[in-house]
Structure 1
Protein backbone atom coordinates (compact mmCIF):
# COMPACT_ATOMS: atom_id res chain seq x y z
CA UNK A 1 0.00 0.00 0.00
CA UNK A 2 1.26 3.45 -0.91
CA UNK A 3 1.41 5.56 2.27
CA UNK A 4 1.00 9.30 2.21
CA UNK A 5 4.11 10.62 3.91
CA UNK A 6 5.22 14.13 4.73
CA UNK A 7 7.99 13.76 2.17
CA UNK A 8 5.45 12.92 -0.55
CA UNK A 9 3.29 15.87 0.43
CA UNK A 10 6.32 18.17 0.26
CA UNK A 11 7.21 16.82 -3.17
CA UNK A 12 3.62 17.27 -4.33
CA UNK A 13 3.50 20.81 -2.93
CA UNK A 14 6.69 21.78 -4.76
CA UNK A 15 5.39 20.48 -8.07
CA UNK A 16 1.98 22.09 -7.52
CA UNK A 17 3.43 25.48 -6.60
CA UNK A 18 5.44 25.32 -9.82
CA UNK A 19 2.19 24.56 -11.64
CA UNK A 20 0.68 27.71 -10.09
CA UNK A 21 3.60 29.91 -11.16
CA UNK A 22 3.50 28.31 -14.64
CA UNK A 23 -0.12 29.40 -14.91
CA UNK A 24 0.93 32.92 -13.92
CA UNK A 25 3.60 32.92 -16.65
CA UNK A 26 1.09 31.76 -19.26
CA UNK A 27 -1.33 34.53 -18.29
CA UNK A 28 1.40 37.18 -18.44
CA UNK A 29 2.46 35.94 -21.88
CA UNK A 30 -1.15 35.91 -23.08
CA UNK A 31 -1.63 39.48 -21.89
CA UNK A 32 1.51 40.71 -23.61
CA UNK A 33 0.71 39.03 -26.91
CA UNK A 34 -3.00 39.90 -27.04
CA UNK A 35 -2.73 43.44 -25.66
CA UNK A 36 0.66 44.49 -26.97
CA UNK A 37 -0.34 48.14 -27.45
CA UNK A 38 -1.47 48.81 -23.87
CA UNK A 39 1.47 47.01 -22.31
CA UNK A 40 3.89 48.71 -24.70
CA UNK A 41 2.42 52.09 -23.74
CA UNK A 42 3.19 51.37 -20.09
CA UNK A 43 6.77 50.35 -20.78
CA UNK A 44 7.26 53.32 -23.11
CA UNK A 45 6.02 55.77 -20.47
CA UNK A 46 8.26 54.26 -17.80
CA UNK A 47 11.32 54.39 -20.05
CA UNK A 48 10.67 57.95 -21.25
CA UNK A 49 10.02 59.13 -17.65
CA UNK A 50 7.25 61.45 -18.83
CA UNK A 51 5.11 61.16 -15.71
CA UNK A 52 7.63 61.00 -12.87
CA UNK A 53 7.10 64.62 -11.83
CA UNK A 54 10.77 65.23 -11.13
CA UNK A 55 10.89 68.54 -13.03
CA UNK A 56 13.44 67.14 -15.48
CA UNK A 57 16.17 66.59 -12.86
CA UNK A 58 16.66 63.03 -14.04
CA UNK A 59 15.75 63.44 -17.69
CA UNK A 60 19.24 62.34 -18.71
CA UNK A 61 18.19 58.83 -17.61
CA UNK A 62 15.19 58.71 -19.94
CA UNK A 63 15.11 56.50 -23.00
CA UNK A 64 13.13 58.36 -25.64
CA UNK A 65 13.70 56.19 -28.72
CA UNK A 66 10.49 54.37 -29.65
CA UNK A 67 12.54 51.74 -31.45
CA UNK A 68 14.46 51.10 -28.24
CA UNK A 69 11.16 50.99 -26.30
CA UNK A 70 9.94 48.20 -28.59
CA UNK A 71 13.22 46.33 -28.26
CA UNK A 72 13.21 46.56 -24.48
CA UNK A 73 9.58 45.46 -24.39
CA UNK A 74 10.43 42.49 -26.63
CA UNK A 75 13.31 41.65 -24.29
CA UNK A 76 10.80 41.61 -21.42
CA UNK A 77 8.42 39.40 -23.41
CA UNK A 78 11.29 37.09 -24.38
CA UNK A 79 12.33 36.68 -20.74
CA UNK A 80 8.70 35.96 -19.82
CA UNK A 81 8.48 33.28 -22.50
CA UNK A 82 11.78 31.74 -21.40
CA UNK A 83 10.95 31.63 -17.70
CA UNK A 84 7.48 30.24 -18.44
CA UNK A 85 8.97 27.45 -20.54
CA UNK A 86 11.39 26.62 -17.72
CA UNK A 87 8.49 26.75 -15.22
CA UNK A 88 6.45 24.30 -17.29
CA UNK A 89 9.36 21.94 -17.92
CA UNK A 90 10.26 22.10 -14.22
CA UNK A 91 6.67 21.35 -13.26
CA UNK A 92 6.60 18.32 -15.56
CA UNK A 93 9.95 17.06 -14.26
CA UNK A 94 8.84 17.42 -10.65
CA UNK A 95 5.57 15.56 -11.23
CA UNK A 96 7.39 12.91 -13.30
CA UNK A 97 9.94 12.31 -10.53
CA UNK A 98 7.45 12.53 -7.67
CA UNK A 99 8.02 8.88 -6.72
CA UNK A 100 11.67 8.75 -7.71
CA UNK A 101 14.66 8.68 -5.40
CA UNK A 102 15.60 11.74 -3.38
CA UNK A 103 18.46 12.38 -5.81
CA UNK A 104 16.21 12.07 -8.90
CA UNK A 105 13.64 14.45 -7.43
CA UNK A 106 16.32 16.93 -6.40
CA UNK A 107 17.90 16.88 -9.87
CA UNK A 108 14.43 17.39 -11.42
CA UNK A 109 14.35 20.84 -9.78
CA UNK A 110 16.92 22.33 -12.16
CA UNK A 111 14.55 23.78 -14.80
CA UNK A 112 12.27 25.19 -12.09
CA UNK A 113 15.19 26.87 -10.34
CA UNK A 114 16.49 28.32 -13.63
CA UNK A 115 13.04 29.67 -14.47
CA UNK A 116 12.63 31.23 -11.04
CA UNK A 117 16.04 32.90 -11.33
CA UNK A 118 15.12 34.34 -14.74
CA UNK A 119 11.82 35.62 -13.31
CA UNK A 120 13.72 37.25 -10.42
CA UNK A 121 16.07 38.83 -12.92
CA UNK A 122 13.13 40.36 -14.75
CA UNK A 123 10.91 41.41 -11.85
CA UNK A 124 13.49 42.28 -9.22
CA UNK A 125 16.45 43.54 -11.22
CA UNK A 126 14.47 44.78 -14.23
CA UNK A 127 11.47 46.38 -12.59
CA UNK A 128 12.35 46.87 -8.92
CA UNK A 129 15.98 47.94 -9.33
CA UNK A 130 16.19 49.48 -12.80
CA UNK A 131 12.56 50.57 -13.14
CA UNK A 132 12.25 52.08 -9.68
CA UNK A 133 15.79 53.25 -8.99
CA UNK A 134 16.88 54.39 -12.46
CA UNK A 135 13.64 55.35 -14.21
CA UNK A 136 11.83 56.52 -11.03
CA UNK A 137 8.86 54.32 -11.90
CA UNK A 138 7.56 54.60 -8.34
CA UNK A 139 7.08 58.35 -8.75
CA UNK A 140 4.60 57.89 -11.58
CA UNK A 141 1.02 57.57 -10.39
CA UNK A 142 -0.20 56.25 -13.73
CA UNK A 143 2.63 53.94 -14.83
CA UNK A 144 4.18 52.38 -11.73
CA UNK A 145 4.53 48.60 -11.61
CA UNK A 146 6.40 48.78 -8.31
CA UNK A 147 3.69 47.19 -6.14
CA UNK A 148 2.72 44.63 -8.78
CA UNK A 149 6.29 43.42 -9.24
CA UNK A 150 6.92 43.47 -5.49
CA UNK A 151 4.04 41.02 -5.04
CA UNK A 152 5.53 38.78 -7.71
CA UNK A 153 8.99 38.90 -6.14
CA UNK A 154 7.40 38.24 -2.73
CA UNK A 155 6.07 34.96 -4.16
CA UNK A 156 8.97 33.95 -6.39
CA UNK A 157 11.84 34.42 -3.93
CA UNK A 158 10.38 32.22 -1.15
CA UNK A 159 9.28 29.73 -3.82
CA UNK A 160 12.85 29.57 -5.14
CA UNK A 161 14.14 28.87 -1.64
CA UNK A 162 11.42 26.27 -0.98
CA UNK A 163 12.01 24.48 -4.28
CA UNK A 164 15.81 24.51 -3.91
CA UNK A 165 16.10 23.28 -0.34
CA UNK A 166 16.33 19.55 0.06
CA UNK A 167 13.88 18.64 2.81
CA UNK A 168 12.11 15.76 1.11
CA UNK A 169 13.48 12.20 1.33
Structure 2
Protein backbone atom coordinates (compact mmCIF):
# COMPACT_ATOMS: atom_id res chain seq x y z
CA UNK A 1 0.00 0.00 0.00
CA UNK A 2 1.42 3.39 -0.94
CA UNK A 3 1.63 6.55 1.13
CA UNK A 4 -1.57 8.04 -0.30
CA UNK A 5 -3.55 4.91 0.62
CA UNK A 6 -2.17 4.98 4.17
CA UNK A 7 -3.17 8.63 4.40
CA UNK A 8 -6.68 7.82 3.23
CA UNK A 9 -6.87 4.96 5.70
CA UNK A 10 -6.00 7.43 8.45
CA UNK A 11 -8.82 9.69 7.23
CA UNK A 12 -11.23 6.76 7.38
CA UNK A 13 -10.08 5.97 10.90
CA UNK A 14 -10.54 9.63 11.85
CA UNK A 15 -14.24 9.29 11.00
CA UNK A 16 -14.66 5.71 12.25
CA UNK A 17 -13.57 6.67 15.78
CA UNK A 18 -16.29 9.29 16.48
CA UNK A 19 -18.86 7.27 14.52
CA UNK A 20 -18.30 4.13 16.57
CA UNK A 21 -18.11 6.19 19.76
CA UNK A 22 -21.49 7.82 19.09
CA UNK A 23 -22.95 4.39 18.31
CA UNK A 24 -22.07 3.15 21.81
CA UNK A 25 -23.21 6.42 23.39
CA UNK A 26 -26.59 6.06 21.65
CA UNK A 27 -26.93 2.47 22.87
CA UNK A 28 -26.19 3.65 26.40
CA UNK A 29 -28.32 6.82 26.35
CA UNK A 30 -31.29 5.60 24.37
CA UNK A 31 -31.49 1.90 25.21
CA UNK A 32 -29.44 0.39 28.03
CA UNK A 33 -29.12 3.19 30.60
CA UNK A 34 -31.72 5.78 29.63
CA UNK A 35 -32.76 6.53 33.22
CA UNK A 36 -29.18 6.74 34.55
CA UNK A 37 -28.16 9.25 31.91
CA UNK A 38 -31.45 11.12 32.22
CA UNK A 39 -30.64 11.62 35.92
CA UNK A 40 -27.34 13.17 34.85
CA UNK A 41 -29.18 15.71 32.66
CA UNK A 42 -31.74 16.34 35.43
CA UNK A 43 -29.14 17.07 38.11
CA UNK A 44 -26.93 19.19 35.86
CA UNK A 45 -29.82 21.29 34.54
CA UNK A 46 -31.50 21.70 37.92
CA UNK A 47 -28.17 22.59 39.57
CA UNK A 48 -29.38 20.77 42.69
CA UNK A 49 -25.95 19.41 43.63
CA UNK A 50 -23.93 22.63 43.35
CA UNK A 51 -23.45 25.56 45.69
CA UNK A 52 -23.54 28.70 43.58
CA UNK A 53 -24.97 32.20 43.54
CA UNK A 54 -26.28 31.55 40.04
CA UNK A 55 -28.92 28.96 40.97
CA UNK A 56 -31.39 31.11 39.06
CA UNK A 57 -29.94 29.46 35.92
CA UNK A 58 -31.18 26.06 37.06
CA UNK A 59 -34.17 24.56 35.30
CA UNK A 60 -36.65 22.72 37.50
CA UNK A 61 -39.01 21.54 34.77
CA UNK A 62 -38.95 17.76 34.03
CA UNK A 63 -40.46 18.36 30.58
CA UNK A 64 -37.52 20.58 29.63
CA UNK A 65 -35.08 17.98 31.00
CA UNK A 66 -36.68 15.33 28.78
CA UNK A 67 -36.65 17.63 25.76
CA UNK A 68 -32.96 18.44 26.35
CA UNK A 69 -32.05 14.78 26.86
CA UNK A 70 -33.96 13.64 23.79
CA UNK A 71 -32.37 16.47 21.79
CA UNK A 72 -28.95 15.23 22.91
CA UNK A 73 -29.80 11.67 21.83
CA UNK A 74 -31.09 13.01 18.51
CA UNK A 75 -27.85 14.95 17.91
CA UNK A 76 -25.78 11.89 18.78
CA UNK A 77 -27.90 9.73 16.47
CA UNK A 78 -27.62 12.25 13.65
CA UNK A 79 -23.85 12.31 14.13
CA UNK A 80 -23.72 8.51 13.95
CA UNK A 81 -25.77 8.29 10.76
CA UNK A 82 -23.81 11.09 9.09
CA UNK A 83 -20.63 9.26 10.11
CA UNK A 84 -21.91 6.08 8.45
CA UNK A 85 -22.68 8.08 5.30
CA UNK A 86 -19.19 9.62 5.40
CA UNK A 87 -17.53 6.22 5.78
CA UNK A 88 -19.57 4.80 2.92
CA UNK A 89 -18.68 7.66 0.58
CA UNK A 90 -15.01 7.58 1.53
CA UNK A 91 -14.73 3.80 1.12
CA UNK A 92 -16.44 4.08 -2.26
CA UNK A 93 -13.94 6.79 -3.34
CA UNK A 94 -10.91 5.18 -1.67
CA UNK A 95 -9.19 4.16 -4.92
CA UNK A 96 -10.37 7.15 -6.95
CA UNK A 97 -8.47 10.32 -7.84
CA UNK A 98 -7.71 13.03 -5.27
CA UNK A 99 -10.61 15.30 -6.27
CA UNK A 100 -13.15 12.49 -5.92
CA UNK A 101 -11.80 11.41 -2.53
CA UNK A 102 -11.71 15.01 -1.26
CA UNK A 103 -15.35 15.45 -2.29
CA UNK A 104 -16.24 12.23 -0.45
CA UNK A 105 -14.71 13.66 2.74
CA UNK A 106 -17.43 16.33 3.12
CA UNK A 107 -19.65 14.29 5.45
CA UNK A 108 -16.63 13.33 7.54
CA UNK A 109 -16.08 17.00 8.31
CA UNK A 110 -19.71 17.27 9.40
CA UNK A 111 -19.32 14.19 11.63
CA UNK A 112 -16.23 15.57 13.34
CA UNK A 113 -17.73 19.04 13.76
CA UNK A 114 -20.91 17.60 15.28
CA UNK A 115 -19.01 15.44 17.77
CA UNK A 116 -16.98 18.46 18.78
CA UNK A 117 -20.14 20.56 19.10
CA UNK A 118 -21.86 17.98 21.30
CA UNK A 119 -19.03 17.40 23.73
CA UNK A 120 -17.45 20.86 23.77
CA UNK A 121 -20.44 23.14 23.37
CA UNK A 122 -22.97 20.82 25.02
CA UNK A 123 -20.96 19.53 27.95
CA UNK A 124 -18.17 22.04 28.54
CA UNK A 125 -19.94 25.28 27.60
CA UNK A 126 -23.56 24.65 28.53
CA UNK A 127 -23.26 21.93 31.16
CA UNK A 128 -19.97 23.05 32.63
CA UNK A 129 -20.14 26.81 32.54
CA UNK A 130 -23.81 27.74 32.32
CA UNK A 131 -25.08 25.07 34.72
CA UNK A 132 -21.82 24.95 36.76
CA UNK A 133 -21.52 21.19 36.35
CA UNK A 134 -17.85 21.39 37.38
CA UNK A 135 -18.97 22.31 40.92
CA UNK A 136 -20.95 19.11 41.34
CA UNK A 137 -19.16 16.40 43.32
CA UNK A 138 -21.20 13.65 41.65
CA UNK A 139 -22.45 14.97 38.28
CA UNK A 140 -19.35 16.51 36.72
CA UNK A 141 -18.90 15.38 33.13
CA UNK A 142 -16.40 18.08 32.21
CA UNK A 143 -13.20 16.01 32.51
CA UNK A 144 -14.37 13.36 30.04
CA UNK A 145 -15.90 16.01 27.77
CA UNK A 146 -12.55 17.81 27.73
CA UNK A 147 -10.70 14.62 26.81
CA UNK A 148 -13.21 13.86 24.07
CA UNK A 149 -12.95 17.41 22.73
CA UNK A 150 -9.17 17.10 22.55
CA UNK A 151 -9.51 13.78 20.72
CA UNK A 152 -12.05 15.17 18.25
CA UNK A 153 -9.97 18.30 17.59
CA UNK A 154 -6.95 16.07 16.98
CA UNK A 155 -8.92 13.86 14.60
CA UNK A 156 -10.24 16.92 12.77
CA UNK A 157 -6.67 18.20 12.43
CA UNK A 158 -5.53 14.86 10.99
CA UNK A 159 -8.57 14.70 8.74
CA UNK A 160 -7.96 18.02 7.05
CA UNK A 161 -4.27 17.39 6.34
CA UNK A 162 -3.44 17.22 2.63
CA UNK A 163 -2.49 14.00 0.89
CA UNK A 164 1.25 13.20 0.72
CA UNK A 165 1.56 14.15 -2.96
CA UNK A 166 0.84 17.76 -1.99
CA UNK A 167 3.94 17.93 0.22
CA UNK A 168 6.39 17.53 -2.67
User: TM-score of the superposition, structure 2-length normalised?
Assistant: 0.93
2:151 is the alignment partner of 1:162: no
Equivalenced residue count is 164
Q: Which residue of 2 aligns with 1:137?
A: 133
Q: Which residue of 2 aligns with 1:52?
A: 50
Q: Which residue of 1 aligns with 2:34?
A: 36
Q: Secondary structure at the match of 1:12?
A: helix
1:82 to 70, 74, 78: 78
Q: Which residue of 1 aligns with 2:115?
A: 119
CA distance in 2, matches of 1:30, 1:168: 37
2:4 is the alignment partner of 1:7: yes
RMSD of aligned residue pairs (Cα, Å): 1.2
CA distance in 2, matches of 1:137, 1:162: 31
User: Unpaired runs of 5+ in structure 2?
Assistant: none
Question: In the alignment, is the contact (CA less than 8 A) between 2:47 and 2:133 conserved in 1?
Answer: yes
CA distance in 1, matches of 2:84, 2:148: 17
CA distance in 2, matches of 1:166, 1:91: 18
Greater share of helix? 2
CA distance in 1, matches of 2:40, 2:82: 26
User: TM-score of the superposition, structure 1-length normalised?
Assistant: 0.92
Q: Which string of whole-angstrom CA distances, capped at 9 and with x for unpartnered residues, describes residues 99-150 of structure 1? A: 1110111111111111111111111111111111110001101001101111
Residue 17 of structure 1: how far off its partner (Å):
2.9
Question: In the alignment, is the contact (CA less than 8 A) between 1:16 and 1:91 conserved in 2?
Answer: no
Residue 168 of structure 1: how far off its partner (Å):
4.3
Question: In the alignment, is the contact (CA less than 8 A) between 2:14 and 2:156 conserved in 1?
Answer: no
Q: Which residue of 2 aligns with 1:26?
A: 23
List structure 1 runs of 4+ shifted beyond 2 angstroms.
164-169
